[in-house]
C-alpha cells in the first residue's frame, strides 16, 4: 500500500541550515587590526625617528658619534636645555605659553656672577638668583592670568626686558666671576656624568610623576583643554595657572645657576640661542607617547632627537646653521607624520567601513 505521506527531503547545502559567512567577520577583524596598528603608529613616530637617527649616525660616523665621549658631551650640553624644556612644558600643559624662560635662565646665571663680583656670599647669590626667577614668573602670571593679556605677547616682552636688564648689569661684557663652589658642584662627576645631567633627569622625573600620578597633573591638563569647563567643575583655574608660571621660572632659574657653573661664564646675549630648542622639544612631545598632550616623556624624546640629529650632522662636517634648520624641520616633519597617521586612524573608524555587510533577509 502506497503511503500518502511523503518522506521529507534532507536540506541541501543551499536550502538548509544557514552557513556562517566569514566575509563580514573577516573584514571586521582586518579593519580592527589595521586600526590597532595605525593607532599605535602616531605615538611611535618620533621614538622611531629617534632610533633611526641614532643608528644612522652610528653607522655613518662610528669613530666619532658612537663613542662614550660623544654621548657624555651630548648629555652634558643638553642638561640645561632639558630643564628649560621641562619648564616650558608646565605652562603649556595648562594652555599658556612662556617665551621668557631662556631669558630667565641667562639673567639668573648672570646674577650669580654679578653678585659674587660685588662681594656677596655664594649661597646668597644662588638664593637671590632663584628668588629672582620666581619673581619673574609671578610678574608674568599677574599680566597673563590677573589682567588677562595674551601670554605669548607678555612673555615675549619679558624676554626682551630681561635681556636688556642683564646687558645693563654686565655692561654688555662676558660675566666670568662665577663662584668656584657653583662650578665645582655643576661639574661634579657622578657615574661618569656631571651632576647637572642627573639634576635635569631628577627634575624631569618629578614633573613626569606630577603630570601622570597626581590630581595637579590632571588639573593642568583639564585647564589646558577647556578653562571654562574646568572653572565650572570647581577648579581654581587662576591659582593653578599662576603656579605653572612660577614653577616654570623657578626651574629656568635653577637651569641658569647650573649653566653658570658648568660653563664658568655667562654671555649676556645668549638667551636667543636657547629660545627655540625647548619649545621645539615640547611640541615634538605632543606628537608621541600622548598625542595632542604636552607630556614629559614626549618632551625628552623630542629633545634627544634634536640633540642626536644636530650633533650627528655637525660631526659629518655640516656647518653651524644646521642647528636652526634641523630644529624647524624636525618639528614640522614630526607633526606632519603624526597628523597623517591620525587621519589614517580616523578613516579606519569611519562608519562606512563597518556597515559593509549583507542586507538582512526579508
Instruction: Read off the pLDDT of residues 95-130 as tens digits, 9 standing for 90 and up.
Output: 898 999 999 999 999 999 999 998 899 999 999 999
Confidence (pLDDT) at 82: 94
CB 109 within 8 A of CB 259: yes
Q: Is the pLDDT of residue 288 over 90?
A: no
Full DSSP string of 27-50: HHHHHHHHHHHHHHHHHHHHHHHH
Question: Which residue has better confidence, 288 or 357?
Answer: 288
**Grid coordinates given for 267:** 654671555
| Buried/exposed 112-128: b ≥16 CB within 10 Å, e otherwise | bbbbbeeebebeebbeb
Confidence (pLDDT) at 255: 94
Query: Above pLDDT 70, what percent of the chain?
Result: 79
CB 259 within 8 A of CB 129: no
Q: Average pLDDT of 310-336?
A: 74
Q: Average pLDDT of 237-248?
A: 94
CB 261 within 8 A of CB 7: no
Confidence (pLDDT) at 192: 86
Q: Is the pLDDT of residue 203 over 60?
A: yes
Q: Average pLDDT of 221-231?
A: 89
Question: Which residue has better confidence, 128 or 57?
Answer: 128
Distance from C-alpha of 153 to C-alpha of 159, rounded to nearest angstrom: 10
Residue 24 binned pLDDT confidence (cut-offs 50, 70, 90): low
Q: Is the pLDDT of residue 337 over 60?
A: yes
Q: Which range has the worst mean pLDDT, 8-17, 185-194, 246-255? A: 8-17
Q: Is the pLDDT of residue 150 over 70?
A: yes
Q: Average pLDDT of 148-168?
A: 92
Q: Is the pLDDT of residue 71 over 70?
A: yes
Q: Is the pLDDT of residue 22 over 90?
A: no
Residue 23 binned pLDDT confidence (cut-offs 50, 70, 90): low
Q: Is the pLDDT of residue 69 over 80?
A: yes
Distance from C-alpha of 340 to C-alpha of 73, rounded to nearest angstrom: 35
Question: Which residue has better confidence, 356 or 215?
Answer: 215
If you average pLDDT over every residue of the chain, what do you get?
A: 81
Residue 204 binned pLDDT confidence (cut-offs 50, 70, 90): very high
**Grid coordinates given for 64:** 666619532
Q: Is the pLDDT of residue 74 over 70?
A: yes
Would you tell me how many other CB atoms lie within 10 Å of the CB of residue 155?
29
In the chain, DSSP assigns E strands to: 189-190, 193-194
Distance from C-alpha of 214 to C-alpha of 286, rounded to nearest angstrom: 20
Confidence (pLDDT) at 209: 95
Confidence (pLDDT) at 25: 55
Q: Is the pLDDT of residue 212 over 70?
A: yes
Amino acid at each position: 500500500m502506497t503511503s500518502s505521506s511523503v518522506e521529507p527531503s534532507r536540506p541541501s547545502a543551499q536550502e538548509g541550515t544557514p552557513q556562517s559567512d566569514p566575509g563580514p567577520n573577516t573584514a571586521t577583524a582586518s579593519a580592527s587590526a589595521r586600526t590597532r596598528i595605525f593607532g599605535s603608529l602616531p605615538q611611535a613616530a618620533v621614538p622611531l625617528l629617534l632610533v633611526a637617527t641614532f643608528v644612522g649616525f652610528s653607522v655613518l660616523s662610528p669613530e666619532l658619534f658612537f663613542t662614550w665621549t660623544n654621548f657624555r658631551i651630548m648629555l652634558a650640553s643638553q642638561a640645561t636645555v632639558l630643564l628649560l624644556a621641562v619648564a616650558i612644558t608646565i605652562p603649556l600643559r595648562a594652555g599658556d605659553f612662556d617665551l621668557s624662560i631662556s631669558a630667565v635662565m641667562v639673567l639668573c646665571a648672570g646674577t650669580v656672577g654679578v653678585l659674587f663680583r660685588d662681594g656677596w656670599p655664594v649661597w646668597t647669590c644662588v638664593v637671590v638668583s632663584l628668588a629672582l626667577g620666581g619673581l619673574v614668573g609671578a610678574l608674568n602670571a599677574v599680566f597673563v592670568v590677573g589682567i588677562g593679556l595674551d601670554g605669548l605677547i607678555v612673555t615675549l616682552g619679558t624676554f626682551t626686558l630681561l635681556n636688556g636688564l642683564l646687558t645693563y648689569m654686565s655692561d654688555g661684557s662676558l660675566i666670568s666671576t662665577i663662584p668656584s663652589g657653583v662650578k665645582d658642584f655643576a661639574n661634579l662627576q657622578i657615574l661618569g656624568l656631571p651632576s647637572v645631567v642627573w639634576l635635569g633627569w631628577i627634575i624631569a622625573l618629578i614633573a613626569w610623576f606630577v603630570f601622570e600620578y597626581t590630581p595637579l597633573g590632571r588639573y593642568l591638563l583639564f585647564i589646558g583643554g577647556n578653562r571654562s569647563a574646568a572653572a565650572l567643575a570647581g577648579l581654581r583655574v587662576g591659582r593653578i595657572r599662576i603656579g605653572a608660571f612660577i614653577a616654570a621660572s623657578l626651574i629656568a632659574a635653577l637651569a641658569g645657576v647650573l649653566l653658570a657653573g658648568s660653563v664658568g661664564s655667562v654671555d649676556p646675549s645668549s638667551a636667543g640661542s636657547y629660545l627655540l630648542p625647548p619649545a621645539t622639544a615640547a611640541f615634538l612631545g605632543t606628537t608621541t607617547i600622548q598625542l595632542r598632550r604636552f607630556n614629559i616623556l614626549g618632551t625628552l624624546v623630542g629633545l634627544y632627537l634634536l640633540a642626536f640629529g644636530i650633533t650627528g650632522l655637525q660631526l659629518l662636517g655640516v656647518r653651524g646653521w644646521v642647528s636652526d634648520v634641523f630644529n624647524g624641520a624636525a618639528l614640522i616633519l614630526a607633526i606632519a607624520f603624526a597628523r597623517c597617521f591620525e587621519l589614517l586612524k580616523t578613516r579606519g573608524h569611519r562608519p562606512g567601513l563597518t556597515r559593509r555587510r549583507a542586507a538582512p533577509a526579508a
